[in-house]
Structure 1
Amino acid sequence: MYVNSAWIKARSPHIRSGLRVAQCIEAGAAARPLLPRREYFYPTRPVRLLGSGTPHALRAGRPMSTLVIAIEALLPVGLLVP
């Protein structure tokens, strides 16, 4: 299951480009003032860096998305080792 999800993410240009990471952080930062309680917590620095939707934000989100894909692909191996 994890390997298949990592494979789908690795093939998706939307995720590999960092756009999805930037969109998630931007949406969470936009929803935060509208909620009565703190349901979303994004530290200020990542919101400033990734929450703008600029080309710089996409370049900064690319290593994060690559890291997520790598962790998800290696997770089954980590679950096998006690």
Structure 2
Amino acid sequence: MQNLNNTQFFKVEKELEMRVEDVLAIVYEALTEKGYNPVNQIVGYVMSGDPTYITSHNNARSLIMKVERDEIVEEILQEYIKTKLSK
């Protein structure tokens, strides 16, 4: 039996942080696999904050909720500028 007068220690593993681009790739793939239009669904989520726009398939909804929506917009805009506007 444990002595309840002593402090108990718990070791919790730190969750690996994923890059926004990796989260978007996983979410895009999950939405595509389920037959959704991934662009429309991601835009709906970013604009409203409603996680039901994202399927729970392959843990996509949980993953995207770990990223701030403004970080998603920033990542998409940076990639657009890099590929379309930079010469």
TM-score scaled by length of structure 2: 0.28
Hey, which of these two has a bigger chunk of helix by percent? 1
| Rg (Cα) greater in structure | 2
Which is bigger in relative contact order (C-alpha 8 A, separation at least 6)?
1
TM-score scaled by length of structure 1: 0.29
